[in-house]
Amino acid sequence: MRAYHPLIGAYHARVESPRIRPATAGDADEIARLRWEFSLEERQPTEPHEGFMRRMASELRRYLASGRWAIWVADDPDVARRLIATAFLQRIDKVPRPYPRPAAWGYITNVYVDAAWRDHGIGRAVMDVAIAAARSEGLDTLLLWPSKRAIPFYERAGFAPATGAMEMPLDES
* Verdict on whether the full-model pTM lies above 0.75: yes
For the CA atoms of the chain, what is the radius of gyration?
Answer: 16
β-bridge partners, 87: 72
Tens of pLDDT along the chain (173 residues) come to 233 344 544 444 433 468 999 999 999 999 999 999 988 888 888 899 999 999 999 999 999 999 889 999 999 888 888 999 999 999 999 998 888 877 899 999 989 999 999 999 999 999 999 999 999 999 999 999 998 889 999 999 999 998 877 888 897 75
Return the CATH superfamily for domain 20-156: Gcn5-related N-acetyltransferase (GNAT) (3.40.630.30)
102 upstream amide cis, omega within 30 of 0 = no
